[in-house]
Structure 1
Amino acid sequence: MNDKPWLEHYPVEVPITYDYPKQNLAQFLVQSAELFPEHIALDFLGKKISYKDLLDSVYRFTNALLKLGIRKGDRVAIMLPNCPQAVIAYYGTLLMGGIVVMTNPLYMPRELEYQLRDASVQMIITLDILVDRVKKATEKEPLNYILVTSVKDYLPFPKNWLYPLTTKKTSPIIYNNNMMSFLSFLKQSTSIPTQTAVDADEDLALIQYTGGTTGFAKGVMLTHCNLVANTIQSKLWFYRAQMGKERYLAALPFFHVFGMTVLLNQSVLMAGTLILMPRFDINQVLKTMDRLKPTVFPGAPTMYIAVINHPEVQKYDLSSVNICISGAASLPREVQERFESITGGKLIEGYGLTEASPVTHANNIWEKRKIGSIGIPFPDTEARIVHPDTGEEMPLGEIGELIIRGPQVMRGYWQQPEETYKALRDGWLFTGDLARMDEEGFFYILDRRKDLIIAGGYNIYPREVEEVLFEHPDVEEAVVAGVVDSYRGETVKAYIILKEGSTANEEELQRWCKDKLAVYKVPKIYEFRDSFPKTLVGKVLRRKLIEEDHDNTLK
């Protein structure tokens, strides 16, 4: 217990350890369809699909892949927003032992070309409006198959009829043996139950590419066991969740591993209903919450910021929301408190990374939690703080690199043994995040090692300065980064988005920070902006802001 003080803060309902089943990840769907065949699995803009019908489509997809000659271990890319086709292709590929490669629909041909080639992908499932981009990305190395679908394929009437009026015209698609229609692909197949045996510990379910903020993205290898374990760990943490009764608002994209685990796999394990949102639009999200009454709403801080700052938020009934877990970036205290007061639900901060399937830590939902902390490690998950250079364990309360060990930790990086060796040592995953642990076992992320600002010899953690800026009543969003300074080496710069109608200026924010921070931490430069560059999950691209600064300096 001494080296795992967090165990004292486990709710009595949460086991310290668990015997995770050695099974295909898609077995969750098979089990839920047996138990709740008529329950609604997916609600896509009004189109409702039961578990029985979803599994029927998944078996059709599995059998169609096998008929084409795609076999266990082959890679199948899915380049779709949150829609029924993404769910069908995901579980259909897993059932026949294929390896899913989730790909961002916003990728440009160059980014896509790298991933498809790196993973030796055989087939991609994508939207009709993205086919030209896929063709361009595969000019040098064509894929065996491109499977094409349209958002309207699964829209209810009359939305499916109106859909063509709202989308851009694209060049007509000529179908042949290599370019196939998703609907025909399923229709011409059989729904005979099919499942390829997998070794859950060894066989990959997923190659998930990391953001690639430093050079090209790395393919994270996640086994069936990794993803089964993390899905169950998340379920154990949400111990009040009820089988067949939860409604999950799926605004986080499934092609991001956070959305895949806490929404897609979690909802299917719990026989819940996934309310599919193809993209995050705050007006649509509020209307959907008001109408469809989701009980679980995982998200990124920017999503909750959008909710609390919406000018008409009081018009909507958001009281159905019980549980929200925030990830992908730090959650400001102000955002957490305001969101909870508006909804009456619990918003907790957690932590994870693609290399850990992704969740490793979370605050308790109903028991002791600490605002500003990422919480405590999940069941069967060990965590330590070590010296970033020597790897020696740091004294309690000291800042060092967070390392993690558990059943959810990846096998390594796809075809990159050197990168794997850097990240994995004796089963421990070196996260690259600077953190500390308090005497009760609660962990605090200070920042990515590469985001640390060193100004005049002082270490400055952007998150700490951002928290102070977020507390200012006129600040809607704030990002802090280090920019080059000829005297101090680096200096602190704040990028600010003000709330609508605000007249706050640089002098006012400077005074605010001086009252709350040591002088060397106070931002020296302020830039006011209308928006920030973000990933589709809503994570601010801090590096992009710095690069823009650098480019402007060179001009």
Structure 2
Amino acid sequence: MTTQVEAPDHIRPWIASYPEGINWQDEIDTTPVHEQVLAACARNPSAVALDFLGGTTSFGELAKKIVAFAGALQSQYGVKKGSRVALMLPNTPFYPIAYYGVLRAGGTVVNCNPLYTVSELSHITANAGADIMVTLDLKQIYDKGEALLEAGHVKSLVVCHFPDALPLAKKVLFSLFKRKDLTNPFQSPHAGKIRAFNDLIHANATPSAVVIDSKTDIAVQQYTGGTTGLPKGALLTHANIAANMSQIDKWGCGLFYPPSKVVAVLPFFHIFAMTVCMNVPLCNGTPVIMLPRFELKALLDLLTRTKANVLPAVPTLLSAIARADTAKAEQLASLEVAISGGAALPDEVRNAFAKKSKALLAEGYGLTEASPVVCCAALRVPSKPMSIGMPLPGTDIRFVDVDTQREVGIGENGELQVKGPQVMSGYHEDREASAGAFHDGWLRTGDVGHIDEDGYVFLVDRIKDLIICSGFNVYPRTIEEALMTHEAVEETNVIGVKDEYRGEAPVAFVKLKEGKSVSETELKHFLAEKLNKIETPKEIVFKDALPKTLIGKLSKKELREEYAQRKAGKA
């Protein structure tokens, strides 16, 4: 199934700057992702699909397990179109099997971060109406699933036995030395509501056919926006998910096809990894090399062992590689492309990474509501530095004045708004939030930036992070970029705080590099040549560590709360 991109109806300067071989008006494939992955499995069943700590799953094995799990969901749980199934799993082979199995059964995937609190998970599962949760018997994860079961937020648990994901030698070692990390779900008082994942697979039930309307049926209900209140469930149709895969595939110019190997160290339950690390490569018959979590040594060992060449990452991960003495050029030699997403990529990190690796480092941009990728730097040729690249094929963007909503000109800052086949249909059971997410049919991103005459997009900050000092707009990212150029600064995050004189004022939080020292006065003196007086931080707070979100993005929410509590304590 394909969607024809409409002919241009307003100025799109990026089209003239597109890399050779990429056409903005190409047809976009919206075939449901589970159909695509099963077709890829049929084309080359003996090829490796998944590599988990050295244990491999072929495409043929993957297909059998997907189909068997889909059959079990239908026959034993009554899953059909509209049924919500929650997945609370780290990166293991269980995740793609469960994900595609749910979709093949006609259900909707509800991703749950295993590091969320029980309270956060309760909101998501209750709001989604997810009666079934697939999880793992690692105690720190399973206990949350059982708490949800006990509270009635889910009615059934399907539990995967973690050692089954490991190659034989590691499985034996785990059983000998790590057994205390496991729990036995079948000794639970709720054992009657718990089934073993492997038992469902071994039942080998054949699923009945499900007719999917790609444009209206929901494939993934992805929760987002928890930093400003309770998370909202973005409704991503089968067409949304497939369209973004097709757009990325075209943008990659063959990058996501064999003999490429894609590293999946970012968690699949996050929309960036779900699309770029899992869906796109697997549907093209390309192996996915998984790590359950980021550890630098494990990642370097993985690259040495597998010679993987594509690394989707977040800036903090790239920074960890760049500043680590243990990360040697020969360990990174196989990397051809690193794709940075999830947060703004500081120029200092870009430059430091370039000293370690010859890989092309491309910054991309997206949001959950767009499945997620909107813009990306070229993946085969260099792009303009500090740009998030250009809109993907079939994607329209505009920048509008934050107050008047009128479109601004080339080079003028405004809110980035998006149209395209990857844009969500709305939020689950939240008409007010759904209406507020759009303006005149365009998705509001909440990000401020501009487009240049060549069609390259530059972002300066989030609208909600904008600091208004004495009537002037101050962007935290401008201050952060300046601070990052100091040799002693490893990480920084800037927030706006109330100020009696200026209304608001910036406060910078800084983590210094190990063995380095600098005073607040020295840092302010350093910034004097880079920032104007209004942009200069009112205060610089040094911390041993800066709070991050669960995928490694620097988080302002905790810093705002910490600063408010500190001021309240002094009052």
TM band (smaller chain): over 0.9
Is the contact between residue 257 and residue 281 of structure 2 (CA under 8 Å) also seen in structure 1?
no
Counterpart residue number, 1:181? 196
Per the alignment, in what secondary structure is the counterpart of residue 529 of structure 2?
helix
Structure-1 residue corresponding to 2:417: 403
Distance in 1 between the 2:408 and 2:513 partners? Answer: 41
Distance in 2 (CA, whole Å) between partners of 1:315 and 1:404 is 39
Match of 2:395 in 1: 381
Aligned counterparts of 1:310 and 1:255: Cα–Cα separation in 2: 27
1:20-59 map, 5 Å: 20-59=28-67
Counterpart residue number, 2:213? 199
Aligned to 1:465: 479
Which region of structure 1 is more displaced relative to structure 2, 104-113 or 488-497? 488-497
Structure 2 stretches of 5 or more lacking a match? 1-7
The residue aligned with 1:149 is: 160
- In 2, the alpha carbon distance for the partners of 1:322 and 1:38 equals 26
Contact map agreement 2:149 2:155 (CA 8 A) in 1: no
Alignment CA distance shift 1:274-1:187 (3 Å): same
The equivalent position to 1:257 in structure 2, one of 253, 265, 271, is 271
Q: Which residue is equivalent to 2:114?
A: 105
Which of residues 352, 358, 375 is equivalent to 2:366? 352
Paired residues for 1:120-159 under 5 Å? 120-128=129-137, 129=139, 130-159=141-170
Percent pairwise identity? 38
SS at match of 2:514: coil
CA contact (8 A) 2:79 2:106 kept: no
RMSD: 1.7
Q: How do 1:135-534 and structure 2 match up within 5 A?
A: 135-164=146-175, 165-166=177-178, 168-169=180-181, 172-174=184-186, 176-190=191-205, 192=206, 195-241=209-255, 243-314=257-328, 316-367=330-381, 369-534=383-548
CA contact (8 A) 1:110 1:137 kept: no
Contact 2:221 2:236 (C-alpha < 8 Å) held by counterparts: yes
- Matched positions, count: 554
Cα distance in 2 for partners of 1:172, 1:34 equals 36
How big is each residue's C-alpha offset from its partner over 1:47-101, in whole Å with a ceiling of 9 and x where there is no partner? 1000000111111100110111111210000000010001100000011111000
- Normalising by the residue count of structure 1, what TM-score does the alignment of the two structures yield? 0.96
Long gaps (5+) in structure 1: none
Deviation by residue 1:473-517 (Cα, 9 ceiling, x = unmatched): 221111111122222222211111111111222222212211111
Question: Any conservation in 2 of the 1:75–1:121 contact (CA below 8 Å)?
Answer: yes
CA distance in 2, matches of 1:326, 1:335: 11
Identify if the C-alpha distance between structure 1 residues 490 and 167 changes in structure 2 by more than 3 Å, giving closer, same or farther.
farther
Is the 2:220–2:235 Cα contact (8 Å) retained in structure 1? yes
Cα deviation, residue 169, structure 1: 4.8
Aligned AA (1:183) = N
Query: Could you tell me how far apart the structure 2 residues matched to 1:493 and 1:300 are?
Result: 24
Secondary structure, counterpart of 1:454 in structure 2: strand
- Give distance in 1, aligned partners of 2:234 and 2:389: 25
Q: Residues of 1 paired with 2:508 and 2:142: CA distance?
A: 40
Q: Determine the C-alpha separation between the residues in 2 that align with 1:242 and 1:218.
A: 31
Partners of 1:540 and 1:507 in 2: how far apart? 24
Per-residue CA deviations over 1:297-354 (Å, capped at 9, x if unaligned) read: 0111000000001122127521111111111111111211222332211111111000
CA-to-aligned-CA distance 1:123-176 (integer Å, 9 cap, x gap) = 000112223222323434352310111321211122112224236556532274
AA aligned to 2:421 is: P
Aligned-partner Cα distance in 1 for 2:122–2:480: 36
Instruction: Say if 2:318 and 2:349, in contact at 8 Å, map to a contact too.
Output: yes
Residue 319 to residue 160, structure 1, CA distance change in 2 (3 Å): same
| Mapped partners of 1:194, 1:30: distance in 2 | 15
| 1:242 positional shift | 5.7
Counterpart CA distance in 2 for 1:85 and 1:264 is 13
